[in-house]
Homo-oligomer: A and B are copies of this chain.
Amino acid sequence: MSFKEKGLLVVLSGPSGVGKGTVCKALRNRGTKLQYSISVTTRKPREGEIDGVHYFFRTREQFQQMIKNEKLLEWAEYVGNFYGTPIDYVRQTLDGGQDVILEIEVQGALQVKRRFPEALFIFLAPPDLKELKKRIIGRGTETADLIESRMTVARSEMELMENYNYVVENDQVDHACDRIESIVLAEHCRVDRLIEKYKNIKGAD
């Protein structure tokens, strides 16, 4: 049979403080079959970090060149370093039939949507904004002013939910993981993804 199903690109995003990192880590620990994207960065490798495993380490010039050549699905600057998602690595993994998950900020997700609209956009949402505030305060690293400004950002990020395909409430990490796994499995059953496969088997009796 010539049909080979491609992997899905799963973009997990949501307001900061909602628990994207925790949910991704839990998915990894469960052994969910998802390939984690490797980011490109201009920051120096830390002790033990391996190029092509933890990050793709590139110079500032190389990174600029990647932006120019549209080799990044999304990118951002963070405390003086650049971080981005290399499109070639993602495409190769998908072509190999593996699903890839990207855990990124809301702004990055919107960039991915422009470049890769066929991806699956999952918005990780807090049970309510009170709860989000609690989680941000709980980190204990922010001043009252910073907390207020992060809440303002979070509120405006909630508005962007309608650009996503799915919303997963992070009421409990385990439930959120169940929902994400179900979404990926369900998407693999969509008729529009499989119709070619069944065209091949028709008449083959």
The chain A residues found within 8 Å of chain B, CB to CB, are 122-123, 125, 128-130, 132-133, 151, 155, 158-159, 161-162, 164-168, 178-179, 181-183, 185-187, 189-191, 194-195, 198, 201-205
Q: Which residue of B lies closest to A203 (CB)?
A: B155
Q: Is the CB of A198 within 8 A of B166?
A: no
Q: Which residue of B lies closest to A197 (CB)?
A: B167
Q: How far is B165's CA from A194's CA once the two chains are assembled, in angstroms?
A: 11
Q: CB within 8 A of A125: which of B122, B161, B198?
A: B198
Q: How far is B129's CA from A106's CA once the two chains are assembled, in angstroms?
A: 45
Q: How far is B185's CA from A162's CA once the two chains are assembled, in angstroms?
A: 19
Cβ contacts under 8 Å, A130 to chain B: 204-205
Q: Is the CB of A189 within 8 A of B179?
A: yes
Q: How far is B151's CA from A75's CA once the two chains are assembled, in angstroms?
A: 54
Cβ contacts under 8 Å, A151 to chain B: 205
Q: Is the CB of A128 within 8 A of B190?
A: no
Q: How far is B123's CA from A165's CA once the two chains are assembled, in angstroms?
A: 22
Q: Which residue of B lies closest to A128 (CB)?
A: B201
Query: Could you list 9 A-B pairs, sorted by A, with CB under 8 Å?
Result: A123-B191, A129-B203, A155-B202, A165-B191, A166-B190, A167-B194, A179-B189, A182-B186, A183-B185
Q: How far is B36's CA from A20's CA once the two chains are assembled, in angstroms?
A: 37
Q: How far is B82's CA from A81's CA once the two chains are assembled, in angstroms?
A: 71
